[in-house]
Structure formats: structure tokens, C-alpha cells
Structure 1
Amino acid sequence: MNNFWLILSQSYTTKFKTKSFLVTTVLVALAILVATNMERIFSYFDEGGETEQIAVVDESGTLFEPFQAQFSAVEDEVKLVKTNESESVLKDEVEEGTYEGYLMLRETEGGLPAGVYKAGNITSSGSAEQIQQALQSLKTIHAAESLQLTDEQMKIWNAPVQFNTVALADTAKSEEERMQAQSLVYVLLFFIYLSVIMYANMIASDVAIEKSSRVMEILISSVSPVTHMFAKILGVGLLGLTQLGIWLLVAYLSLANQPESLAANWLGFSSLSSSMMIYAVIFFVLGYFLYATVAALLGSLVSRLEDVQQMMTPLTLLVMAGFFISMYGLVQPESTFITVTSYIPFFTPMTMFVRIGMLNIPLWEILLGVGVLLVSIFLLGSIGARIYKGGVLMYGKSNSLKDMKKALDLSKNR
């Protein structure tokens, strides 16, 4: 048991002190800070900047003031400037940066407002939509006046249609809850996917490096290969939880200071439940152990670091398949396909988590998913320990899954 904790501690501390781990942790933490404070960053650069201006040529002579009133209701950061300058002059002033663009206001034959907006690059101009919206409102007012509608009739005309959606299924969430859950689940799902791939490859590479440097021969002479495998898996797993915990803590502290920000609302931070975070940790840990066990036995079959990626390709494809299935599950969480795949061990960590986040599923389904993972981890651990036991003794070019049988035969002779 002392050897187990010694290897576990060595796997954890050695990786924790590596430059790659520290740099990755810091860079991702900084990226989280930037993403969660994007609104503040933009506002900082906007402070002290000049107010954008749009020139307006009112060919009708009567539309500018009512249009300005409607435009101000939808956009208060852009100033409208009435002018009688020619289009050639206005074009030059747009190119010089005096104006963001210019609007030609006119009346149609029916007496309704219309306009043409011209800017240097329409795709980079954020005002075109607001101009159209203001013109639409002004057109509605003019049309109502021409029809001689009363104020009461105007209210009826402008009143939005009464429409609500009600989910009949017991497992369904409201539209607002679903939108918030979708954003949060996507972020956590991406972390699970990225972490499983990163740490599974780390374990396989470590085993291959130890074999190529002949360190493995010294290790297995003092500790059993099975103890070595599980100590390494647990050590790297704790490293992964440490890194994930740091990132989640950074995100939490950043969003806690701005609960009304766009990032907090998009992630549903205000309604974030502790149960969601607990489920995220549970399925991260179980998913990690499932894939890490397979990664360790695959790493034991190769003797060179260059062969690790080729051997890990099937496992990586499984993780990617689970991730893409989960992406589909974010859109159609109630589908039979997602329900079935949530009980397939290699897809369960991600697809079951999607169902938990997007639906109100019964507790027994969650426990069944956890049970499937635990049983799968136990079975893969038992088989993996045997293969690992023989695989660490195999040297030479070995990058075929057929070598598992050879590793099993070697383990029987030990």
C-alpha cells in the first residue's frame, strides 16, 4: 500500500510541476477571465471614444424629427445629424471617418416613409438593423394616421400576439430553463471532453516513456504492475480534478462579481444549482476512470512514444463520437437515440450529463447511468490490469490491438 501512495504522489507532483501543466492552467484561466469579462473589456475601450454619427438627408422635409424619435428609442449611442450635403460629399466624409454612413429619407407615392442607408461596409455597421426597425415603427404610425385609427385601435394593432408554450412531458423544462441549461451544459461538456482526451493521452504517454527508458523494469521489480497502473490512473485523475477545480473557481469568482452580465445570463449563472456542479464532477470522474483505464493498457502495449497516438486513435474516436452525439443531444435531448446512447458506457459520461441538464429525468435513470459506468470501469479495470501486467513486459515495435492477446498470455506466466 505504501508503494501505491508513493507512485500516486509521484505521478501527481511530477505532472503538477511541469511547465506544460502550469502554462496550460494559467492560459485557460486567463481565457476564462477574458470570456467572462468581455463586456467590461469592450466598455473600457469604448470609454472616451467619439460618438458615432450618421448623416441624414431628409428629401421629404418632414421625416427627420419623427424618425429621430423612433431611432433614439432603439439606439441611444449613435447620433443622427441632419444635412443637405450632396451624396458625393457625404461619400467622402464616410471614407474620412466623419460619419459611419448616411441615410436618404424619402416618402413613397403612398406617403409612407422609406430610406436607403449607405456605409463603407454594411457588414461592419451595426446601425442598419436599428435604422430599419425605426423606419418600420415610423411607417406603422403613418399608416395608422392615414387609416384614421383611434388610440385604442392603435394599441390593439401594436399589441403582440398572446402565445405561450407549455410542455406536457414530466421530464421537460421551461424554455428559459432550457436555454440557460443548454449554455451551461455545453461549457461543462466541453471541459469533460477536453479533459478526458488530455489526461487519457497523458497516462498512455507516461507508460510508454517509462517503458522506452527501461524505468518500467525497475518499477515492476518492486511493485506489481496492477498497483502501478491504478496508482498512476488515480494520480493523474487527481491532477485533472485540480486543474478543473482551478478553472471552475476562476469562472465562479469572475461571474460572482457581475451576476447581471451577459456571460452570467448566457450561462444561467443566477440559476446555477449545486446539483448540476455535483453531477458534472461525478460524470467527469467516472468518464475519466473509464477512458484512463483503457488508455493505460493501450500505453502498456507500445514501447515508443511515437506509437502512442496511433494506438490511442480508436479511443480518441470514441470520445469524439460521444461529444458529437452530446451536441445533437443539446438540440434533441428527448430523442430515443440520446436515451439509448446515455446507457452505452463510452458515451454515458457526456450524453447522460446532457439529459440531466436539459431534462428533469427520474433519479433512477441517473443512478442506472452511474451504475453502468461503475460496472464498466470494474470490468475494464479487471481486463486492463491483466493486459497491463503482460504489456509492460513487451518491447519492440508494437502498435496493434492484436498484441492484447500476447499481453494476456504473458500475464498468465507471471
Structure 2
Amino acid sequence: MNKFMIIVGHTYTNRLKSKAFMITTLITLLFVMAFANLETIIGLFSGEDEEERVAVVEEGANLFEHLQGQLEPYESEVKVEKFEGTEQEAKDAVTDGDYVGVLSVSLAEDNIPQGTYYTEQISEYKVSSLLEQALQQLKVTVASQSAQVEQATINEIMSPVAFEKVSLKEDAKTEEELSQTRGLVYIMLFLLYFGVLMYGSMISTEVATEKSSRVMEILISSVSPVKQMFGKIFGIALLGLTQFGLIVLVGYIAVQQNKEFLDSTSISSYLGFSNIEISTLIYAIVFFLLGYMLYATIAAVLGSLVSRTEDAQQVMTPMILLIVVAFFLAMTGLSNPEATYVTVTSFIPLFTPMLMFLRVGMLEVPMWEVAISLVILVATIVALGIIGGRIYRGGVLLYGRSSSFKDIKKALQLTKKE
């Protein structure tokens, strides 16, 4: 047990001090802080102090006051000013930087308002879309008045229809609960995807590096290969917990400092942070850890088959493709978690960590289904641990360029000779 802990500690400290880990962690922490301070960053680069002024030129129309009234709720985003001059003079004012654009308003043959917007940056859509929306509303008003339709009738027609979704199942989640859970599940799927991908690659690279430096020859004479394999798996797992712990801590501090902004924009509510169910968090932790153990064991075995770090990524490709497939299925399943393919694949061990977590997060899944998926997943991890340990025992003795997965057979043969 002491030798096992030495391997865990060595793997942990070796990776903790690496430049790659420090840079990755720093970039992630900066991203978390940037997200929490999104309002301040947007304010710095959006130029809020500069008014988006638009000159309005009327050609045979008297619509400026009505147009101004339509845009009053968006005065902080765009401000229209009546231009006393020709259209060309207004365009020259835009070129000089006095206005962001010119809106030329006129009446068509049927007395319906129409407009042309001139600006230097036609790719800018915020101002133009607001002007188009205001002109559209003005068109409806003018057309309705021409047809002698009362304003109350117009308001009733334009008001959104009352539509509510109600499930016939008593234990089904409401639309609001689904919306909140979807955000949390989305984040957890990303964490699981990148976590398994990153830490799995670390494990395979760690094994390959030791083999290339011939350190493995010293290790196998004092510590059993199985202890080495699981020592590296748990060492990288401890590293992952350290990294995620830092991210959660910095994220919590940043959220608390910007709580007012997050609450006002409903970001925390949308992401599911305002009403997190304990059961969802427990499932997230369980499936994350089991998913890590599953793929980490595979990564360690694959890493033992190569003796060069440049070959480690190549031999990891099939496992990475499986993770990508699982992630793709989970992402598409977010919009339809009750789909048959989601249900079926949630019982396949390699896909269970993502797909079953998606289901338990979004739906009311019977406990027996969750239990069966967990039993299958744990049994697969145990089986991979036993078989993988035997492959690893012989794999660490293989040197030279790895040609194919036929090396697994060679590794098993070396194990039998011991």
C-alpha cells in the first residue's frame, strides 16, 4: 500500500508542477472570471459612452414623431434625430462621424411607410434591425388606421397567444424546471467530455514517457504493474480534483461578486444554478467519477502499448472517437431526451456516463433503470481493470514503435510468461 501511495503522490506532484497543467489551469480560471464579469467586459468594448445617433430624413412624409415613439423603449441603444437638410448632406454627416447612419423615410403609393438605411458598416445589424422593427410597427399602425381598425383590436391581434405545456405524468418536470436543468446538464456534459479527454491523455502520455526514459524497467522490479496502473489513474484523478476545486472556488467567488448582474440577466436561472436539485448533483458526481475510471483504465492500457509519447495520441484515437460519439449523442439528446436512441445507448457502458446522466437530469427515470446502468458500468470497469491489468503488465515490457492493436496479444503473451 505504501508503494501504491508513492506512485500516486509521484504522479500527482509531477503533473502538478508541469507547465502545461499550470497554463491550462490559468487559462480556465481567466475564462471563468471573464464569464462572471461579462457585463464589465462588454461595457469596455461596446463603447457605451458613444451614442448610436441616426439621422432621419423625411421625403414627403410626416412620420418622425411616430417613429421616435416606437423607438423610445430602445433609446439607450439607438437615438433618432430629425435632420434638417437633404439626404446627401445627411450622408456626408455620416462620413464625418456625426451619425452612425441615415434613415430615409417616405410613403409608398398606397401611403404605407418605407425606408432606406444608409451606413458605412452594413454588417452592423443591431441599429438597423431596431429601425426596421420600428418601421414595421409603424406600417401596421398606418395600415390599420387606413382600414379604420381600432387600436384596441390591433393590440389584441398583436399580443402573444396563451400557450402552456402540461404533462399528464404527475412526477414530470415543468417547462421551467426542464429549462434550468438543461443548462446544468449541458455544463456537466462539457466538464465530463473535456475532463475525460484531458486526463485520459495525461495518463497514456505519463506511461509512455516513463517507458521512453527506461524508468519503467526500474519500477516494474519493485512495484507490480497493476499497482503502477491504478496508482497513475488515482494520481491523475487527484490532479483533476485539484484543478476542478480551484475552478469551482474561483467561480464561486466571482459569482458572489457579480451576483446582482447574474440575477438580473437570469443567467444563473437559465444555467440551473438558482434551483439545483441535490439528486442531480449526486448523479453528476457519480457518473463523472465512474466515467473517468472507465476511460482512464482504457487510456492506461493503451499508453502501456507504446514507448514514445508521439505514438500515445495515435493509439488513443479510437477511445477519443468513442468519447466524441457519446458527447454528440448527448448534445443531440438535449432537445429530445426521450428519444429511443438515447434510452438504448444510456445502457451501453462506454456511453452511460453521459447518456444516462442526461436522462436522469432531464427526465424522471425509474430507479431500476439507473441501477441497471450503474451495475453494468461498474461491472465493465472491474472487468476492464482485471483484463487491463494483465495487458498493462505485459505492455510495459514492450518497446519499439507500436504498429497496431495486435500488440495487445503480445502483451498478454508476455504476461503469461512471467
Category of TM-score, reference length = shorter chain: over 0.9
Helix, strand or coil: the match of 1:80?
strand
Give the aligned partner of residue 30 of structure 2: 30
How many matched pairs? 414
Gap change, CA 1:75 and 1:332, over 3 Å in 2 = farther
Aligned residue identity for 1:109: E
**Range moving further from structure 2, 157-166 or 27-36:** 157-166
Aligned residue identity for 2:235: G
Matches within 5 A, 1:150-189: 150=150, 152-168=152-168, 173-189=173-189
Matches within 5 A, 1:321-332: 321-332=325-336
Q: Is the 8 A contact 1:119 1:125 kept in 2?
A: no
Helix, strand or coil: the match of 1:39?
helix
1:275 aligns with 2:279: yes
For residues 25 and 170 of structure 1, what CA distance do their matches in structure 2 show?
A: 44
Q: Which residue among 317, 328, 347 is the counterpart of 1:313?
A: 317
* TM score, norm. by length of structure 2: 0.92
1:223 aligns with 2:248: no
Q: Which residue among 401, 404, 411 is the counterpart of 1:407?
A: 411
For residues 411 and 378 of structure 1, what CA distance do their matches in structure 2 show?
A: 19
For residues 398 and 255 of structure 1, what CA distance do their matches in structure 2 show?
A: 48
For residues 362 and 37 of structure 1, what CA distance do their matches in structure 2 show?
A: 40
Structure 1 residue 279 displacement after superposition? 2.4
For residues 139 and 334 of structure 2, what CA distance do their matches in structure 1 show?
A: 40
Give the aligned partner of residue 298 of structure 1: 302
| Long gaps (5+) in structure 2 | none
Structure 1 residue 264 displacement after superposition? 2.6
Aligned residue identity for 1:72: E
Helix, strand or coil: the match of 1:271?
coil
Deviations 1:28-54 (A, max 9, x none): 110121123222211244576221100
* TM score, norm. by length of structure 1: 0.93
For residues 309 and 157 of structure 1, what CA distance do their matches in structure 2 show?
A: 61
Give the aligned partner of residue 98 of structure 1: 98
Helix, strand or coil: the match of 1:352?
helix
Q: Is the 8 A contact 2:83 2:90 kept in 1?
A: no
Give the aligned partner of residue 3 of structure 1: 3
Deviations 1:113-166 (A, max 9, x none): 222222223321311221122222223333333333445434433433222223
Aligned residue identity for 1:397: R
Give the aligned partner of residue 240 of structure 1: 240
Q: Which residue among 358, 379, 385 is the counterpart of 1:354?
A: 358
Give the aligned partner of residue 69 of structure 1: 69
Gap change, CA 1:369 and 1:50, over 3 Å in 2 = same
Matches within 5 A, 1:39-50: 39-46=39-46, 49-50=49-50
1:213 aligns with 2:216: no
- Give the CA RMSD over aligned residues: 2.1
Deviations 1:232-277 (A, max 9, x none): 1111111112212222333333233323154434423223334333
Structure 1 residue 344 displacement after superposition? 0.7
**Range moving further from structure 2, 398-407 or 174-183:** 174-183
Helix, strand or coil: the match of 1:97?
coil
Helix, strand or coil: the match of 2:221?
helix
Structure 1 residue 338 displacement after superposition? 0.8
Where do 4+ consecutive residues of structure 1 move more than 4 Å? Answer: 45-48, 169-172
Q: Is the 8 A contact 1:326 1:350 kept in 2?
A: yes
1:21 aligns with 2:25: no
Deviations 1:310-333 (A, max 9, x none): 211111111111111111111221
Aligned residue identity for 1:345: P
Deviations 1:62-112 (A, max 9, x none): 211111011112443321110132232222322332211111112233333
Gap change, CA 1:363 and 1:261, over 3 Å in 2 = farther
Structure 1 residue 302 displacement after superposition? 1.4
For residues 363 and 251 of structure 1, what CA distance do their matches in structure 2 show?
A: 33
Gap change, CA 1:74 and 1:219, over 3 Å in 2 = same
For residues 27 and 126 of structure 1, what CA distance do their matches in structure 2 show?
A: 31
Q: Which residue among 333, 336, 349 is the counterpart of 2:337?
A: 333
Q: Is the 8 A contact 1:307 1:399 kept in 2?
A: no
| Long gaps (5+) in structure 1 | none
For residues 165 and 12 of structure 2, what CA distance do their matches in structure 1 show?
A: 51
Q: Is the 8 A contact 2:61 2:107 kept in 1?
A: no
Gap change, CA 1:172 and 1:234, over 3 Å in 2 = same
For residues 304 and 271 of structure 2, what CA distance do their matches in structure 1 show?
A: 41
For residues 70 and 385 of structure 1, what CA distance do their matches in structure 2 show?
A: 71
Deviations 1:179-201 (A, max 9, x none): 33333322221221111111111
Gap change, CA 1:39 and 1:48, over 3 Å in 2 = closer
Aligned residue identity for 1:303: S
For residues 190 and 278 of structure 1, what CA distance do their matches in structure 2 show?
A: 17
Give the aligned partner of residue 147 of structure 1: 147
Structure 1 residue 15 displacement after superposition? 1.0
**Range moving further from structure 2, 180-189 or 282-291:** 180-189
For residues 299 and 403 of structure 2, what CA distance do their matches in structure 1 show?
A: 13
Q: Is the 8 A contact 1:297 1:388 kept in 2?
A: yes
* Percent pairwise identity: 48
Q: Is the 8 A contact 1:171 1:361 kept in 2?
A: no
For residues 205 and 265 of structure 1, what CA distance do their matches in structure 2 show?
A: 40
Give the aligned partner of residue 58 of structure 1: 58
Aligned residue identity for 2:353: P
Gap change, CA 1:135 and 1:347, over 3 Å in 2 = same
Q: Is the 8 A contact 1:36 1:264 kept in 2?
A: no
Q: Is the 8 A contact 1:255 1:269 kept in 2?
A: no
For residues 282 and 118 of structure 2, what CA distance do their matches in structure 1 show?
A: 53
Give the aligned partner of residue 124 of structure 2: 124
For residues 173 and 120 of structure 2, what CA distance do their matches in structure 1 show?
A: 45
Q: Which residue among 255, 260, 263 is the counterpart of 2:263?
A: 260
Helix, strand or coil: the match of 2:56?
strand
